[in-house]
Amino acid sequence: MINLKNRSLVSITDYNKEEIIRILDIAEEFELNQRQHILNQHVIASLFFEPSTRTRLSFESAVQYLGGSVIGFASADTSSVRKGESLKDTILTVSNYSDLIVMRNPLDGSARYASEVSPVPIINAGDGANQHPTQCLLDLYSIRKTQGTLENIHIAMVGDLKYGRTVHSLVQALSLFGATFHFISPDSLKMPSSVKTWVKKAGLEYHQYTNMKDVMPMADIFYMTRVQGERFPDPLEYEKVKNLYILERSMLKDAKESMKVLHPLPRVNEITQDVDEDPRAYYFQQAKNGVYVRQALLAAILGLR
Ligand code: CP
């Protein structure tokens, strides 16, 4: 029996394979019939201590399509955090005003902490370089929709594999489905050992590369990432690596017809504009899928599906 009611989602590992599939199935339902007013009389708090376009607005869009109300802030600057209020006091206060809290915070582990002190469920909308489980679910939804399956895909992950929280969550989730991983990054931005150990423990293979060319013909998914300049302790190190991987349309000539290019966005220089015209570009549809997946999560956690 799958029951996600009142359960916080902090890490993608909080869900097992059946629970992940359940969310994707509910999301399909919302893709077919998006405007269902099942959140009447529910209030969702949206607390973003770090910038966001897609995650914040797609959550708010999801709430509104479901007929609920949103309160919150888009920057810590407009909250009492600026006066020195602690995260615990902020969460305890906001939980008085809402049925569920969506939170993005720059500190690794902050979402887990919030879930431990909060009387209402917390959905982690990204905590530092740690986890971004709702992005992971929309990535899985996009992969299943375009490839017809989540089982045994070859996925290339490119760019900032060290600080990019979306790839950490996605590796953990795809490990449940038997993927082969192709990690493409400079030495200084390699996938962390803890994530590679996860792959090994699942009995799966990963391969590491420094260029994209060798992987292009075998990939089902090319997952590009932005180099996360804001997380580098040394700005000079960021300057050295920020433009190392730029996907251009001409480079897709060796790719499968069915291959899709994903990117959690925002992009800076990682994908040239000409790729947008290629049928394998899927990153804007991927962002759209985020609304259906977030509708599914809200409905499941509030016990309405
Ligand atoms: N993918 C993603 O998290 O985008 P935002 O930072 O715009 O929310």
Closest atom of ligand 1 to 57 CA is: 8
Q: Does the beta carbon of 175 lie inside 6 Å of ligand 1? A: no
Q: Ligand 1 centre and the CA of 270: distance in Å? A: 15
Topology of the domain covering 12-132+290-301? Rossmann fold (3.40.50)
Give the global pTM: 0.96
Element (H, E) at 73: strand 69-73
133-287 sits in which CATH class?
alpha beta
104 a catalytic residue? yes
165 a catalytic residue? no
CA-closest residue to ligand 1 atom 3? 55
Q: Does the beta carbon of 265 lie inside 6 Å of ligand 1? A: yes
Query: Tens digit of pLDDT for each residue in 84-141?
Result: 999 999 999 999 999 999 999 999 999 999 999 999 999 999 998 889 999 999 999 9
37 a catalytic residue? no
What is d(CA 79, CA 104) in angstroms, rounded to the nearest whole number? 14
Query: Tens digit of pLDDT for each residue in 20-49?
Result: 999 999 999 999 999 999 999 999 999 999
Which of 22, 42, 55, 146 is catalytic? The answer is 55
Closest atom of ligand 1 to 50 CA is: 6
303 Ramachandran zone, left/alpha/beta (phi>0; psi -120 to 50):
left
- CA proximity to 244, closest of 182, 160, 168: 160
Intervals of CATH 3.40.50.1370 along the chain: 12-132+290-301, 133-287
